[in-house]
Chains A and B, each alone.
Chain A
Amino acid sequence: MGKISRWIDDRIDLKTLRAQLIDRKVPWGLTWWHTLGSATLAVFSVQVVTGVILAMYYSPSPDHAYDSIRYIEHTVLSGSLLRGLHHWSASAMVVLVLAHMIRVFSLGAYKYPREMSWLFGVALLFIVLGFSFTGYLLPWDQKAYWATQVGTNIAGSAPLIGGVMVKLLRGGAQLGAGTLTRFFALHVLLLPLLLIGFVLLHISLIIRQGMAPRPMALEIDAPARTSDPEYPAYYHDRYAKAKVADTRFWPDMIGKDVAVATVVILVLFLMAWFIGAGLEPPADPSDTSYVPLPEWYFLPFFQLLKLVPGKYESVVTVGVPLALVLILVLLPFLDRRSKRSLFHRPVAGVALVGTLLGSGLLLWGALRGDRENVRLASAGVPLTALERAGRALVKSQNCSACHVIGDQKPDSAGDVNDAPDLNDVGFRHTSGWLHSFIELPTRFHPDSKMPSYGLPKLSHMEMEQVARYLATLRGTHAMSEPPQIVDTFPEPVKKPEPQ
């Protein structure tokens, strides 16, 4: 062992590297909040390894994507757990990145000399959101399809470039095969390369500049602004003094980092194990009753769209994200006051709390409105062509001569009429049962007064149409109420035993 490390050391000078990377001193008083960045990195590593294996089974084609996900869920060993980990880690990435940003913002760590670290961080935030948007489509289930439909149309509503944008994103005029391969390529090739590149830049700056100290270490006797000519000298002097406490990167900081990362990944494992990633029915472009919801961290934005009238649509769809990018990018250049603690920056404090509260409120509104939406969507289920044809047959065969259907009452009200009311027949019987009954009622009730509508009166297709239509009649029962089927089929006639 010693021999090998000496051999390597002779060639690449590991000792210096170790002193510079591992044993370097860090400022005193680094908190648990300082572990959020490294926790994000740990979760990203989980995404890389789980993603590589998922890509081995996944097929990015509308014909096969959904089935390949089902295969992962049901056949691949621990496949469901693997996909669950990838799914929950994706959420965790967003949460951790945002939490990390809030920490950096609150401690004024984006100020001199770490403006570039902040900018790389902002780029990383949007790369992570890009991962989330592209990854959401890949399972090609209902949620994936419709959320992406909405998401790409948002890009399409941008003034001037909208038309080009939406086609570029979708790889065609409509969402389809071209979109899936495009999103897949971005998700597994371009975005990982970009992310790793920016992470390396981000980390190399931390190594070069050291970790940001506590705000109080840089506030005493500080020049008023970081742009003052004497500020760099002040900063370097104070920063050197902040490192006197002999706190070291290893194991003082790394120990905390690993502890937090372990807890985070344990939680993700439990969520993957107990909740899993979920998979809705396969994408159905013709299903107009589906209410798509984006991933929960996009919900505040989604909710905002409900609140603005059409005229200002593009203000929200384009303006809000653009303003967000601009504010984040310009922040370190606009805010040059040397105060770092949030308690000494009332405007920043109010802005942060306001943003968090506002997004929280919108998120809450979206989650609440959810339930209403689902109820709304089931309000009117249109008849299919088959069912409408059945309805026409019910009229032409004059079923209402005996039965109550809709507002039509039998003309022969005076007769002893025990024909059942058909207005809720679909609540009691399936279309299969109805078909058989219409064909030969006496099979079910030997003394039924209803004539047989089997051949040659109605063809099988026609009987099926009538049965399908009748099955849609549910009276006053809500669509959400499960039907109470009382189909009883006659005992099959026993064939005589062969002798």
Chain B
Amino acid sequence: MSLGETKPASSSEDDALFGRRRFLRWVSGIGSAIMGVLVGIPVVRSFVSPVFVKPVVASWIKVAEDTALLDIGVPVRVDFVKEQNDAWIESIAQNSVWLYSDDGEKFKAYNAQCTHLGCGYFYDKDTKTFACPCHRGHFDVKTGAVLSGPPPRGLDEMQVEIRDGAVFVRVKQFRLGIPERVEA
């Protein structure tokens, strides 16, 4: 361990305003900064790119052919297929919403994701509530309000329209786990 143990004596080159060493120190600093910026810009921008993806426009989707086929007074989960763009993959995926009606004419549609952390909830026949199995949230069937458990807000309701007996829902996704209803 004999190399480099003593500090080299300072020379006039170290301190001169336009000295060689001073110049080289500046070159190292500025060079590192330039390299950092040149590489950093594309790296950071492409890393955060998904944050700026435009939200999917909510679309009206026919979820049931005929209101006569749906239960009254008991919520019904209807599945539908939807074309979706998952990054670079265009696929046809199955989705679902929960429909509820008191009278068979006016329908409520709830997004099928629990507002807590996005698990799928189900209709619990015993308690007549929507129950989420992940962290035991319970929701009211008629209003979507939280009855118990950790969900921060009621179920996300979506617009419904009945056209010629068929049920259309304006399917939207919302941010989960927060009290406010914000579109994702």
Which A residues contact B (CB, under 8 angstroms)? 16, 61-63, 146, 149-150, 153-154, 156-157, 162-164, 166-168, 170-174, 176-178, 284-292, 302, 305-306, 308-311, 313-314, 317, 373-374, 376-377, 379-385, 388-389, 391-392
Whether B112 sits at the interface, judged by CB under 8 Å, is: yes
Q: Are A291 and B150 in contact (CB under 8 A)?
A: no
A-contact bits for B75-107, CB 8 A (1 contact / 0 none): 011110000001111000111100000000000
A382 pairs with B133, CB closer than 8 A: no
A to B CB contacts below 8 Å, 28 in the list = A153-B117, A156-B177, A157-B178, A162-B177, A163-B175, A173-B56, A174-B86, A177-B89, A178-B50, A178-B86, A284-B94, A285-B93, A285-B94, A286-B79, A288-B122, A289-B133, A302-B135, A305-B117, A305-B150, A308-B150, A310-B153, A311-B152, A313-B150, A373-B133, A380-B123, A382-B76, A385-B65, A388-B70
Closest Cβ of chain B to A136, distance in Å, is: 15
Q: Report which of A308, A311, A317, A384 forms a contact with B177, defined as CB distance below 8 A.
A: A317
- Inter-chain CA distance A170–B153, complex, in Å, is 23
Interface of B with A (CB < 8 Å)? 1, 47-48, 50-51, 53, 55-56, 64-66, 68-70, 76-79, 86-89, 93-96, 112, 116-126, 131, 133-136, 146, 149-153, 173, 175-179, 182, 184
Q: Could you tell me if A153 and B135 are in contact, using CB atoms closer than 8 angstroms? A: no
Q: Are the CB atoms of B117 and A154 closer together than 8 Å? A: yes
Assuming the contacts A157-B152, A305-B135, A392-B68, asked whether A177 and B88 have C-beta atoms less than 8 A apart, the reply is yes
Give every chain B residue within 8 A of A305 (Cβ-Cβ): 117, 135, 150
The CA-CA distance from A310 to B64 in the complex, in Å, is 33
- B53: which of A173, A287, A388 is its contact (CB, 8 Å)? A173
Residues A172 and B122 in contact in the complex (CB < 8 Å), given A157-B177, A286-B94, A291-B133: no
Is B69 within 8 A of A313, CB to CB? no
Across the two chains, which residue of chain A brings its CB closest to B53? A172
Query: Which residues in A have their C-beta under 8 angstroms from that of B131?
Result: 376, 379
Are B51 and A168 interface neighbours, CB within 8 A? yes
Q: Give the Cβ gap from B50 to chain A, nearest Cβ, in Å.
A: 5
Contact indicator A177/B86 (Cβ below 8 Å): yes
**Contact A310:B116 (CB < 8 A) given known A174-B173, A385-B64:** yes
Write out the residue numbers on chain A whose beta carbons fall within 8 Å of the beta carbon of B79.
Answer: 286, 384-385
A379 touches B150 (CB 8 A): no
Are B112 and A288 in touch, CB under 8 angstroms?
A: yes
When the two chains form their complex, are residues A63 and B89 in contact, meaning their CB atoms are under 8 A apart? yes
Question: Do A382 and B122 touch (CB < 8 A)?
Answer: yes
User: Chain A interface secondary structure, helix, strand, loop or mixed?
Assistant: helix
Nearest opposing residue in chain B for A317, CB measure: B177
Whether A310 contacts B87 in the complex (CB less than 8 A), given A168-B51, A172-B53, comes out as: no
Contacts of A314 in B (CB 8 A): 177-178
Contact A380 B124 (CB under 8 A): yes
Given A157-B152, A288-B121, A392-B69: A62 touches B77 (CB 8 Å cut-off): no
Could you list 8 further interchain pairs (A-B, Cβ under 8 angstroms) beyond the known A286-B96, A376-B124, A379-B126?
A: A153-B176, A153-B177, A163-B182, A167-B51, A173-B50, A305-B150, A309-B150, A310-B116
Q: Which residue of B lies closest to A284 (CB)?
A: B94
Q: How far is the CA of A172 from the CA of B89 in the complex (A)?
A: 12
Q: Cβ of B51 and Cβ of A156 under 8 Å apart?
A: no
Provide the residues of chain B in CB contact with A284, threshold 8 Å. 94
A170 to B50, CA, bound (A): 8
Given the complex of chains A and B, what is the CA–CA distance between A207 and B79 in angstroms?
62
Tell me, in angstroms, the Cα distance from A168 to B79 when the chains sit together.
Answer: 29
Which chain B residue shows the least CB distance to A306? B135
Contacts of A177 on B, CB cut-off 8 Å?
86-89
**Minimal beta-carbon separation of B140 from chain A (angstroms):** 14
Residues on A with C-beta less than 8 A from B55 are 173
- A-B CB proximity, top 3 nearest: A288-B120, A157-B177, A176-B86
- Asked whether A173 and B86 contact (CB < 8 A) given A150-B117, A150-B118, the answer is no
Q: Shortest Cβ distance from B168 into chain A, in angstroms? A: 15
With A168-B48, A376-B124 known as contacts, the answer to whether A156 contacts B175 (CB < 8 A) is yes
B118 — which chain A residues lie within 8 A by C-beta? 149-150, 153
Residues of B close to A391: CB separation below 8 A: 69
Kindly state the separation between the CA atoms of A392 and B95 in the bound complex, as whole angstroms.
23
Complex contact A382–B77 (CB within 8 A): yes
| B175 CB, min distance to chain A CBs, angstroms | 6
Interface pair A379/B152, CB less than 8 Å apart: no
C-alpha gap A306/B56 in the complex (Å): 31
CB distance from A397 to the nearest CB of B (A): 14
CA distance A441 to B56 in the complex (A): 51
Instruction: Name B96's contact: one of A166, A288, A309 (CB within 8 Å).
Output: A288
Cα-based distance from A385 to B77 in the complex (angstroms):
9
**A285 vs B118: C-alpha distance when bound (angstroms):** 11
- Which residues on B sit within 8 Å (CB–CB) of A172? 50, 53, 86-87
User: A162: which B residues are within 8 A, CB to CB?
Assistant: 175, 177-178
- Which of A154, A288, A389 lies in contact with B77, CB distance below 8 A? A288
Contact B134 A292 (CB under 8 A): yes
Q: Which residue of A has the minimal Cβ distance to B114?
A: A288
Asked whether, in the complex, the Cβ of A146 is within 8 Å of the Cβ of B151, the reply is no
Q: How far apart sit A308 and B149, CA to CA, in the bound complex (Å)?
A: 8
The smallest C-beta distance from A231 to any residue of chain B, in angstroms, reads 28
Which of A156, A286, A290, A302 interacts with B93 by CB under 8 Å?
A286
Q: Smallest CB-CB separation from B121: which chain A residue?
A: A288
- B86 in contact with A380 (CB, 8 Å): no
Q: Which residue of B lies closest to A384 (CB)?
A: B79
Contact of A167 (CB < 8 Å), options: B53, B93, B95, B117: B53
Closest to B178 in A: A157
| Min CB–CB distance B110 → chain A (angstroms) | 11
Inside 8 A of B179's CB, which chain A residues have their CB?
310-311
A306 and B117 alpha carbons, distance in the complex (Å): 11
In contact, B122 and A377 (Cβ under 8 angstroms): yes
Q: Provided the pairs A167-B50, A178-B87, A306-B150 are in contact, do residues A380 and B122 lie with their beta carbons within 8 angstroms?
A: yes
Q: Are B120 and A289 in contact (CB under 8 A)?
A: yes
Q: Is the CB of B125 within 8 A of A306?
A: no
Alpha-carbon gap, A379 to B77, bound state (A): 14
